[in-house]
Amino acid sequence: MDRIFSEFPKNVLEQVKKSEFSWLATGENHDYISDEVMHVTSSEINGFVADCNHAHLLFWDTMAYIIKHKKYGELSIPENIIPLIEYTWRNNHEHLIGRFDFAGGLDNQETKILEYNADTPTMLPESSAIQGYVNEELGRTKYKGQFNKLIDNLEFGLRKIMDNNPDRHPSLLVTSLGYIEDQLNAQIIVEAALGAGIQAVYADLQDIEFSDDGVFLETENGEFTQFDFVYKFVPWEFIAKEEPDLMAILTRLVTQEKVRIINPAYSLIMQSKGIMKFIYDMHKTDPMVLKTTFTKADFFGKPYVAKKLFGRLGEDISIYDVKHNIMEKSEGNYSGMRYVYQEFTNLYRDDEGYYHQASVYYSNKKPCCLSFRSNQSLIMDDDSDFVPHIIDG
Range of the domain at 330: 291-343
Asked if 158 and 253 count as a contact pair (C-beta separation under 8 A), the reply is no
Residues 229 and 241: their CA atoms lie apart, in Å, by: 23
Instruction: Look at residue 282 and tell me if it is in a domain.
Output: no
Instruction: Provide the CB-side half-sphere exposure for 297 (13 A, CA).
Output: 0
- Identity of residue 16: V
The tens-digit pLDDT sequence of the chain (393 residues) is: 578 999 999 999 999 999 999 999 999 999 999 999 999 999 999 999 999 999 999 999 999 999 999 999 999 999 999 999 999 999 999 999 999 999 999 999 999 999 999 999 999 999 999 999 999 998 677 889 999 999 999 999 999 999 999 999 999 999 999 999 999 999 999 999 999 999 999 999 999 999 999 999 998 888 999 999 999 999 999 999 999 999 999 999 999 999 999 999 999 999 999 999 999 999 999 999 999 999 999 999 999 999 999 998 889 999 999 999 999 999 888 878 899 999 999 999 999 999 999 999 999 999 999 999 999 999 999 889 999 999 998
Residue 36 DSSP SS3: strand
Instruction: Look at residue 261 and tell me if it is in a domain.
Output: yes
- Torsions phi, psi of 117, nearest 5? -90, 85
What single string gives the DSSP state of each residue in 240-307?
HHH-HHHHHHHHHHHHTTS-EEES-TTHHHHHSTTHHHHHHHH-TT-TTPPPEES-GGGGTTS-EEEE
| Helix axes of 82-90 and 244-255: crossing angle, nearest 10 degrees | 20
- Torsions phi, psi of 198, nearest 5? -105, 135
Q: Are residues 309 and 232 in the same domain?
A: no
Q: Are residues 149 and 176 in the same domain?
A: yes
Q: Are residues 84 and 190 in the same domain?
A: yes
Residue 2, pLDDT score: 75
| Helix axes of 82-90 and 42-68: crossing angle, nearest 10 degrees | 110
What single string gives the DSSP state of each residue in 265-283?
TTHHHHHSTTHHHHHHHH-
Residue 90 DSSP SS3: helix
- The 10s digit of each residue's pLDDT in 193-252 is 999 999 999 999 999 999 999 999 998 888 999 999 999 999 999 999 999 999 999 999
Q: What separation in angstroms does the CA of 106 have from each of 29, 290, 358, 377? A: 27, 18, 9, 18
Instruction: Look at residue 384 and tell me if it is in a domain.
Output: yes
- Identity of residue 246: L
Instruction: Look at residue 94 and tell me if it is in a domain.
Output: yes
CA dihedral 49, 50, 51, 54 (to 10 degrees): 120
Q: Are residues 240 and 324 in the same domain?
A: no
Instruction: Look at residue 358 and tell me if it is in a domain.
Output: no
Max CA pair span of the chain? 67
Asked if 276 and 263 count as a contact pair (C-beta separation under 8 A), the reply is no
Q: Are residues 75 and 160 in the same domain?
A: yes
Instruction: Look at residue 357 and tell me if it is in a domain.
Output: no
List for the chain the helix, strand, coil content (%; round to 5).
35, 25, 35
Residue 139, pLDDT score: 62
Q: Are residues 164 and 243 in the same domain?
A: yes
Q: Are residues 21 and 149 in the same domain?
A: yes
Q: Are residues 335 and 368 in the same domain?
A: no
Q: Are residues 148 and 10 in the same domain?
A: yes
Closest residue by Cα to residue 317 from 339, 291, 346: 339
**CA torsion sign, 308 to 309 to 312 to 314?**
positive
Closest residue by Cα to residue 342 from 283, 287, 374, 299: 299
What single string gives the DSSP state of each residue in 332-351?
-S-TTPPEEEEE--PPEE-T
pTM: 0.97
Residues 270 and 357: their CA atoms lie apart, in Å, by: 20
Q: Are residues 296 and 254 in the same domain?
A: no
Name the domain count of the chain: 2
Asked if 192 and 151 count as a contact pair (C-beta separation under 8 A), the reply is yes
Instruction: Look at residue 315 and tell me if it is in a domain.
Output: yes
Residue 1, pLDDT score: 59
Long-range contacts, stretch 326-332, CB < 8 angstroms, 24+ apart: 327/303, 327/378, 328/377, 328/378, 328/379, 329/379, 330/379, 330/381, 332/308
Q: Are residues 92 and 146 in the same domain?
A: yes
Asked if 201 and 217 count as a contact pair (C-beta separation under 8 A), the reply is yes
- Torsions phi, psi of 82, nearest 5? -60, -45
Instruction: Look at residue 252 and tell me if it is in a domain.
Output: yes
Q: Are residues 296 and 226 in the same domain?
A: no
